[in-house]
Structure 1
Amino acid sequence: MAWRIGLTDPLDEEGLALLREDPEVEIVEARSPSPEALRELVQTCDALIVRSGARLDAGVLEQAERLRVIARAGIGVDNIDLEAATRRGILVMNTPGASTIAVAEHTFALLLALLRKIPSAWLSLREGRWERGWFVGVQLAGKTMGLLGLGRIGTEVARRARAFEMHVIAFDPYIPEERATALQIELVPDLDELYARADILSLHVPLTRETYHLIDRRAFEKMKPGVYLINTARGAVIDEEALLEALNTGRVAGAALDTFSEEPPRSPILQALIAHERVVAVPHLGGSTQEAQRLISRQIVQQLLDALRGRDFRNVVNLPFPEGVDYRTLAPFMRLAEVIGRLQMQLIRGRIHRVEIDVRGEELRAVLRPLGVALLKGLLTPILGDEVTFVNAPMLARERGIQIVEAAQSILGAYAQAVACRVLSTQENRLMVGALFAGEPRIVQVDDFPMEALPRGAVLVMRSRDVPGVIGRVGTLLGQHGINIAEWRLGRDRPGGTALSFINLDTPAPSTILDALRSMPEIEDVRQAFLPETLA
């Protein structure tokens, strides 16, 4: 019986030819399908190849009677409900890395167009004017290129910057010093130094809670006057209103923008940015090369066919059923390990170099390896976003100098079944233990503090002196700013000693509230983490 594969968007001819040549494949094309047509595809196909336009939410996936694979031709999978897909046993895959070279080259195309004023000079000449004096540019040689993010694309941009005789500095707390040194890149210790030294700042980070509006008014104030900004990452990494102000004041000499927080850009702020005389803007063309589209098409088709035949599950962003293990039994522990990793990455200070995992229970020891992968996926997702999968998490961890090992000595307490993780960084070590309560993840120990905390939503993790009045003062401060406490769990080392609070909030606390909490004399430290309400 042939596999029915639905296409919601065009593929490059090479990818399409791979499908057509396969005798076991029947192609169903429905370009830009209506909601009704999309539901019909979901009902009648074994696999779908989609781009960002097809929205596969839980309601649509309820119709998935035979669907086995959703293949996203691109990186982002925010248009696919991963939890709903996983619950129905549907694999979801993407193609990270296929457009790396295209985006790196595009970064330099935008940079050169901006610094040499090519678009405005071309328009002037096209209109019959010869105005060379208006278009004196800036050269790259001798300038300092600052990279925010040193993943695959950032690394390729760095290599090209070196070819232009630029000095390259980068901030990426998850990249080991040795790797940067081998690439002749100077790692800087913090964002402030990156901002202060960069003549040109190029953004190469995924869009996560931590990077949303990372480049804001305060960031612009810290930047070198006359800096040039290049964004081929995600539009919402920049506070675009703050960028417009910085351009108008001259703090930013020019900006080249490939992406926007709203696409197509319609808001007055975005329209003003696009029309600005010192802005070069294009409609999200980073991966739009013939070569990249061919590679994406070939890669997604080959991945899809391999998955359908059970040969390989590379770039799967949700978990395939481990061979010989009942996924329904294992899945809650996978979620537990992943949420522990997410918490660890958001709470730890310094660069992580070692992760130790320990489990209690013979059933869990038999699946220690997939639990370790889930832990790494959780650890890396806050910094890398959709790029991380259960397949590539170990490789991405190795690239960042993170070693995961089974703990040499038991680090668990008295739980029949539990997962423990100790993270060692350049600044501190942290232990976290989790267990399942009625099938749901709970954090039962942080360092030496026992507790029973719900790892869900916005969370404050607060270390304080165990003295009267702390809970009242913290609750009053949050209440005065309209922040409701959903749960408050507390552990302490001894009466009158140190207490650790795990506070679930209905809404995140802004940085001003965190600063106010840190200023209280009884509070030693407070950090905020963001966890999904559910995990796929």
Structure 2
Amino acid sequence: MKVLVATEKPFAKVAVDGIRKEIEGAGYELALLEKYTDKQQLFDAVKDANAVIIRSDIIDKEVLDAAKELKIVVRAGAGYDNVDLEAATAHGVCVMNTPGQNSNAVAELAFGMMVMAVRNFYDGKSGTELKGKKLGIHAYGNVGRNVARIAKGFGMDIYAYDAYCPKEAMEADGVKPVDSAEELYATCNVVSLHIPATAETKNSINYALVNRMPKNGLLVNTARKEVINETELIKLMEDRPDLKYVTDIMPVANEEFAAKFPGRYFSTPKKMGAQTAEANINAGIAAARQIVGFLKDGCEKFRVNKK
């Protein structure tokens, strides 16, 4: 069995060493395709691969067509919208993610961005504190739970909305559940987004929803850029000069945001939520272990596509 690590943005060496230990320890062959610059290189590399580990690399129908022996793809990270799930199912390929491995890294980044925003991006002017402010966590998954944990140390008043998470689970963490996204935004000074990009959520963060936030509201996005209705958010920030927006996913309209809202807007140059040494290692090794479990025992615990 051959396991390919195909990463345009490579794992750290220590992560690759950990992946190699897991894969070769199970008796499988490990192949690396790092820093590739052309899709044909990926086509060539997957031809005889039985399993593939990726990061933000695109696995679409063309790649799957080229991978005649492929049985499983594991995305080292939580999001998996870079994989064509329908095409994978049609090809009989199992797709998995590695939920939870990057969660603390993303949560810490969210707070770094919050502190920067409330302190006016460190421009020397007086800002505000997070202590005592109401924090809204939009989606209470692995990242949301870590955000809540950190928020307690800041002394924040913590609320959350997640239609798929039992209220009892939030309450057990000392978090106040609310009944709707509308209530969350109307209640909280700061809202931190952790929703996936789905048909239901794309463009759902719009004028009407964010306009419910109290004066001097702050929206923090370390989720996906597709969930933001950029046109409506720009209009809202024009209408409400008190609002700030910081994001870990550069918007399509980044230049317009930056030009119109200096001192109220910030985007990282590229998605950095999982860009820590620890998250890099954790996600890579978890992906390798999941592949071994699948190939040896048929374990599909983290499968995200249909059979």
Q: Does 1:165 align with 2:167?
A: no
Could you tell me which of 17, 32, 51 is aligned with 2:55? 51
Normalized per residue, the structure richer in strand is: 1
Which residue identity is paired with 1:92? V
Task: Say which is worse superposed, 235-244 or 12-21, in terms of deviation.
Answer: 12-21
Where does residue 341 of structure 1 map in the other structure?
A: none
* Distance in 2 separating the partners of 1:12 and 1:202: 29
In structure 2, the residue matched to 1:40 is 44
Q: 1:168 to 1:18 in 2, by over 3 A?
A: closer
Partner of 1:17: 17
The answer to whether the Cα contact below 8 Å between 1:216 and 1:239 also exists between their aligned partners in 2 is yes
Give 1 or 2 for the bigger CA radius of gyration: 1
Question: In 2, are the aligned partners of 1:216 and 1:238 still within 8 Å (CA)?
Answer: yes
8 Å CA contact retained: 1:15, 1:301: no
Aligned to 2:281: 294
What letter is aligned with 1:7? A
Q: For 1:287, what is the secondary structure of its paired residue?
A: coil
Q: Superposed, which structure 2 residues align to 1:302-317 within 5 Å?
A: 302-310=289-297, 312-317=299-304
Over aligned residues, Cα RMSD in angstroms? 2.4
The C-alpha deviation readout for 1:31-79, integer Å capped at 9, x for no partner, is 32523222212222222222223x3322332232222222222233333
Q: Sort the Cα spacing of 1:253 and 1:271 in 2 relative to 1 into closer, same or farther, 3 A.
A: closer
Q: Secondary structure at the match of 1:309?
A: helix
Aligned position for 1:280: 266
Name the structure 2 match of 1:394. Answer: none
Change (3 A) 1:175 1:48: closer
State which drifts further: 80-89 or 92-101. Answer: 80-89
What is residue 178 of structure 2 aligned with on the other side?
188
Does structure 1 residue 82 correspond to structure 2 residue 85? yes
SS of 2:89's partner is: helix
Q: Are the equivalent residues in 1 in contact too, given 2:15–2:280 (CA < 8 A)?
A: no
- CA, structure 1 residues 177+33, in 2 after alignment: closer, same or farther (shift >3 Å)? same
1:307-344 residue CA offsets vs partner (Å, 9 max, x unmatched)? 2333633322235xxxxxxxxxxxxxxxxxxxxxxxxx
Q: Is the 8 A contact 1:234 1:260 kept in 2?
A: no
- Contact 1:20–1:27 under 8 Å retained in 2: no
Q: Deviations over 1:428-481 (max 9, x none)?
A: xxxxxxxxxxxxxxxxxxxxxxxxxxxxxxxxxxxxxxxxxxxxxxxxxxxxxx
The alignment of Structure 1 onto Structure 2 pairs a total of residues equal to 301
* Alignment TM-score, normalising by the size of structure 1: 0.52
Shift of 1:102: 0.7
Gaps of at least 5 residues in structure 1 are 122-134, 320-535
Tell me the residue number matched to 1:99.
102
Who is 2:66 aligned against?
63
- Greater RCO (Cα-Cα under 8 Å, separation 6 or more): 2
- Structure 1 172/84 Cα, relative in aligned 2: closer, same or farther at 3 Å? closer
Q: In structure 2, how many angstroms separate the alpha carbons of the residues matched to 1:32 and 1:114?
A: 36
**What SS class does the counterpart of residue 53 from structure 2 fall into?**
strand
Mapped to 2, the partners of 1:107 and 1:36 lie a distance apart of 36
Indicate the residue corresponding to 2:228 in structure 1: 238
Equivalent of 1:138, from 108, 111, 128? 128
The CA deviation at 1:191 is 2.8
**CA distance in 2: counterparts of 1:70 and 1:207, whole angstroms:** 20
Matches within 5 A, 1:507-526: none
Stretches of structure 2 lacking an aligned partner (at least 5 in a row): none
In the superposition, the TM-score normalised over structure 2's length comes to 0.87
Does the Cα contact within 8 Å between 2:101 and 2:283 map onto a contact in 1? Answer: yes
Q: Which digits, 9 at most, give the CA deviation of each residue in 1:63-122, with x for residues without a partner?
A: 32222222222233333333333333322222121111111111111001111134434x
Give the drift of 1:165.
1.5
**In structure 2, C-alpha distance between the alignment counterparts of 1:145 and 1:18, rounded to whole Å:** 37
Q: Cα–Cα, structure 1 residues 302 and 206, in superposed 2: closer, same or farther, change >3 Å?
A: same
